[in-house]
Amino acid sequence: MSNQDLSSQSYTEPSAASVQDLIPVVMRLLRIFRHRKKVIFATLYCFILVGGAYYWLAPRYYSSSAKLLIDEQKVDQLSAVGEHDSTGNTMATHRELVVSPVVVEQAIQQLAPQHRVDLQGKDPKDWVKTISKRLSAKITRKTNFIDVSYSSRDPEAAAAVVNAVIEAYLAFVEKNHKGTAGEILSVLTDERDQLQASLNQQQIELQKFRRQVGHLAISSDDGVVEPMIQRAIRLNEALLETQEKRLKLQATLTAIQDSLNRGEDISQHLTSIESTLGKQMLLASMGLSPQDLQVLSEQQKKLLEAQQKLQNLSPHLGPNHPSILELQAEVQNLTQYVSSYHSGARQRFDSLGSALPTENIVNMLEQSVRQAQQQEKQLLSSFEQARAEASQHSDALVRLRMIERDVIRKETLFDSLSEKIASIDIGQIRAPIKATVVREPLPSDIPVNPQLRFVATLCLLGGSCAGALIVYVQDVLDDRFNSPEELSSQLGVPVLAMVRQLEQLPGEGFAAVHTNAMPTGVETEAFRTLRTSISLSGDTCERILVSSSEPGDGKTTISANLSVAFAQAGKRTLVIDADLRRPGFTALANLKGLQGVADVLSSEQPPEVAAPPLVQATEVPGLDVLPVGLRRPNPSELLSSSAFVELLAWADSQYDRVIVDCPPVLAVSDAQIVGQLVDGAILVVRPEKNHRRSVIRAVDSFRSAGCTVLGVVANGLSNDTGSYGYGYGYGYGYDESYGHTSEDVDTQVSHREFDVPPIDPPVTIPVPTAPQSQTIRPRRAA
């Protein structure tokens, strides 16, 4: 992957993550706005009332406007060569000139008394400031138009002011133009004369320098190289060729001398000395001539033609055909001739080494080396001289080019100044700009202030923003849920059941569970409603996780009553106490000290073998409990192991309903780990105790882990229907000690406006410190 792909990927992933994190926040804000929509509508209604009162009571202002066309006379522009177009600056200058105090003061003097409506009761010193506040001039983008407008309480007065301002502006421009053309002409003439004198001197210097350098007037644009430079280049190429030839000759001479000193055959060097001794000499030494080579070539050509012809006729004629036999005989004769010729040549070549005149060959090579060295020396001397002359000539050419460019630049500037002087001389009676009124100011009966559309838009926008701000502030200050509707709206999940504050029952274990002890009581109706809501949810809900946002919310009590409700409905139910840190359900069922979940997950045996002996039957028919077991130092690692997945799979195959009692989701990550393995989670909430942001964060934690939140159970409600009361005292705390600790929930909580007077504070359910005799029997393995 390239660096560009990596950088693109690193840029795309954070962007997608930020958008994904923003969506829940926006959805939560929308739910808050929907819940408190009455506040937004009330704020919007107040803004509409204020806006309507302003619209009916505010004084009306009427506007009148005119349009000016500013035509710039470019022939009179004083600009240097290469200067950019100044139209934009000219338009901005004249826009400021239209609303300038000088023009406004002249316009006020031209106004009739009946048109000075806006100046009545004003000090004459403030008249210019008063008119300037409601006078505006705007440039239409990418055009030469200026829109001049004025707002007044009288439509006729508005049109009169605009007309007076335009007349004052045109008079000011006309007055200030007089005498400008003569001054411009004088300045340009002096500049042209100075430039002409400098140009004449530069041209004379150019001619002298050309004669000095001997310039041939060859244009560099034609791609032609100066003769001196071209001569140096050719000498350099010839020098390189001579050096290469000398080096080859020296290498050949050295190799032959070494072979002779060692007494070796020099035939191996024939190819290297061929260019020195000549090809004819080598052929003569071998007893060959060019005619022999030509004859051999012709015979080889005939051999190839005969072989090709024989190959073409063989598929069509028989092997004894006269033509085939004739071709075969011809191929055989030609083959013998070529072979014998090659054999003789090879023998002559082998004997050539001893027959060659070695002394003459060495002498010839030494002479060739000396000639190459002499030629190289002469070429090197000529090249150095030519290079020096070319270098000096190049410097002169560079200076010559600079003088030529300077002369051309001054000639161009001189021509431009001459054209400007001619233009000013011809059109000196014309102004630098021509202003034309293309739209006359007319009175209008439609007020521009206040505008109904603007006031309505401002009221709607301001009321909506102010209402949203008030709702947000209320949401920040009030961090509790005020109703089940608000609870469901802000969490985005349904309220499955609302459990009132439960009273303490005598007994221990499941004898103190309301659904078991009082199956027909009013208190247990909420748990039957919870059971029905889960059964009718439409999704498969056989494995259910029960947790809360904080300790002390009553999630163990909800798990116990819900499991009894399922068992009473004929569903074989198993409760797994997955709270390996503070096992509340195990303590409630009086199963402390027995082996359970932690032992199954730590066992070397598979869960389907290790779990059945540890499952404990209860006094409720159809309800079994798998206690937490002995404490382990790594609860998160145990719950995230594959053994826990297998344990849930075994429980799902043996029971109709599996309820997993987990620690609070915000306290530890155990609930999120288990949430990935179950069909859905139930969050227990105490509206009077839990902070709203904590509950929202708990729901978001489940969703981020990929767990489906079936809904929430509002626990600890007061007996007064429709309002939240106090939470009951079910103790839950996380500390270093092992064992269940009962803590009374503080009942001294400030009441809200809609709460009824507090009832008697609830008492906590006493939890035994050691198992007592009760009707709990081990469940046999299936």
Whether the Cβ atoms of residue 674 and residue 661 lie closer than 8 Å to each other? no
Most confident of 90-99, 469-478, 483-492, 582-591: 582-591
Task: Give the tens place of pLDDT for each residue, 596-607.
Answer: 999 999 999 999
Choice among 358-372, 451-465, 575-589 with the minimum mean pLDDT: 358-372
pLDDT digits (tens, 9 = 90+) for 155-207: 888 889 989 998 888 888 877 765 556 667 777 788 888 888 888 887 787 77
DSSP H or E stretch at residue 62: strand 61-72
What gap in Å lies between CA 646 and CA 572, rounded to an integer?
19
What average pLDDT score do residues 92-99 get?
Answer: 86
The per-residue pLDDT for 214 is: 60
Q: How many helices (H) and strands (E) does the chain have?
A: 26, 14
Are the C-beta atoms of 589 and 777 separated by less than 8 Å? no
| Rounded CA separation 427/416 (Å) | 17
* Alpha helices, H only, 111-152: 127-134
Which residue type is seen at 544? I
Q: How many residues belong to the chain?
A: 782
CA–CA gap between residue 731 and residue 763 (Å, rounded): 11
CB 162 within 8 A of CB 118: no
What is the share, in percent, of the chain residues with pLDDT greater than 70? 76
User: What does the longest C-alpha to C-alpha distance in the chain come to?
Assistant: 140
Distance CA 142, CA 759 (A): 78
Number of Cβ atoms within 10 Å of the Cβ of 640 = 18
| Residue 84, C-beta contacts closer than 8 angstroms, at least 6 positions apart | none
Helix 87-98 × helix 155-177 angle, to 10°: 130
Cβ contacts of residue 778 below 8 Å, gap of 6+? 613, 615, 616, 617
What mean pLDDT value characterizes the chain? 77
CA separation for the pair 531, 89 (Å, rounded): 80
**pLDDT interval class at 287 (50, 70, 90):** low
Token code pair at residue 477: 């200050």
In this predicted model, which residue has the larger pLDDT, 119 or 758? 119
Query: How far apart are the C-alpha atoms of 282 and 745, rounded to whole Å?
Result: 121
Nearest to 578 by CA among 629, 646, 636, 628: 628
Distances (CA, A) of 572 to 77, 146, 174, 534, 610: 101, 88, 105, 16, 20
On whether the CB atoms of residues 41 and 463 are closer than 8 A, the answer is no
Mean pLDDT value of segment 536-560: 89
Question: Would you call 217 helix, strand, or coil by DSSP?
Answer: coil
Task: Give the C-alpha distances (Å, rounded to integers) separating 707 from 59, 494, 545, 679, 695.
Answer: 63, 15, 10, 8, 15
Residue 346: strand, helix, or coil: helix
State the Cα–Cα distance between residues 94 and 114, nearest whole angstrom: 29
DSSP letter assigned to residue 647: H
Mean pLDDT is lowest, of 110-124, 251-265, 618-632, 672-686, for 251-265
Report, as an integer, the average pLDDT of 534-545. 85
Angle between helix 37-57 and helix 3-35 axes, rounded to 10 deg: 80
Cross-strand bridge partners of residue 548:
684
Structure tokens at 491: 């969490």
Q: Which pLDDT does position 671 carry in this prediction?
A: 92
Residue 465 pLDDT > 90: yes
The verdict on whether omega for the bond into residue 450 sits within 30 degrees of 0, i.e. cis, is: yes
Q: Which of 491, 481, 532 is nearest to 715 (CA)?
A: 481
Amino acid at 721: T
pLDDT of residue 260 exceeding 80: no
- Please give the angle made by the CA atoms of 249, 253 and 257, to the nearest 5 degrees: 175
Pick from 754, 752, 685: nearest CA to 715: 685
Say if residues 435 and 27 touch (Cβ distance below 8 Å).
Answer: no
Cα gap 542→521, rounded to integer Å:
26
Confidence at 595, pLDDT banded by 50, 70, 90: very high
Residues 86/144, Cβ–Cβ less than 8 Å: no
* C-alpha dihedral (601, 607, 613, 614), degrees to nearest 10: 30
Q: Return the pLDDT at 737.
A: 36
CA 684, 686, 689, 691 torsion-angle sign: positive
Q: Is the pLDDT of residue 345 over 80?
A: no
pLDDT of 643 strictly over 90: yes
Q: Which long-range contacts (CB under 8 A, 24 or more apart) does 98-101 make?
A: 98/68, 98/137, 98/146, 98/148, 98/165, 98/166, 98/169, 99/132, 99/135, 99/136, 99/137, 99/165, 101/128, 101/132
Report whether 704 contacts 674 (CB < 8 A).
Answer: no
